[in-house]
A = this chain, B = another copy of it.
Amino acid sequence: MRADLSSGDLARATGKTVRTVRFYEEEGILTPAEVSNGGHRRYTKDDLERLRLIFDLRELGLPLGEIRSVLDLRSGCDTAAELAARFEQVLVAHIQQAEQRLDRLRRVKRELTEALHAVQERLSGLTHRCPCAVAAMSHAPRIVRVIAKSLTCQHGNRQFP
């Protein structure tokens, strides 16, 4: 397999920086396939795939140490069967991590969306063109309540400028 990708190519292909690629090398999780006489690194398509996997696992919130142990799954396994079992174990654990993150993110997105709708509905009425009116709603979304605490208007008991 040809090693014809530079560190800049990896950075462009993944949307990250050259520094990040270099840092992963310092941490021992992505070694270039070749290094030229002048010190320029050369990577293969497989290295790019490995890098993409690293970013995927980072997206799940895994620290580099855990990612290293996933990538090094083989060492520490004496038989193919043991490797297969550990592989399955790792996959199940990280799918769970992904689910938990997804649940939290979905909840946050739902709250923000509810806030947006509440703000848009209330502000389309002409009577109260101030967010404090939205905050006064029963069951106003959290972000509306919190932002409203740090402000007031003529309808409240403090003054909005």
Question: Which residues of A approach B to under 8 Å, CB–CB?
Answer: 46, 49-50, 52-53, 56-57, 59-60, 70-74, 78-81, 83-84, 87-88, 91-92, 94-95, 98-99, 101-102, 104-106, 108-109, 111-113, 115-116, 119-120, 123, 129-132, 142-143, 145-147, 149-151, 153, 160-161
Contact = CB atoms under 8 A, between A and B. Distances in A.
Contact of A49 (B71, B102, B145, B153): B145
A136 to B, nearest CB: 13
A80 B146 contact: no
A74 B151 contact: yes
A120 B88 contact: yes
B98 A109 contact: yes
B80 A130 contact: yes
Contact of A84 (B71, B101, B129): B129
B119 A80 contact: no
A145 B44 CA distance: 14
A112 B131 contact: no
A144 to B, nearest CB: 8
Nearest to A95: B112
Contacts of A108: 56-57, 59-60, 98
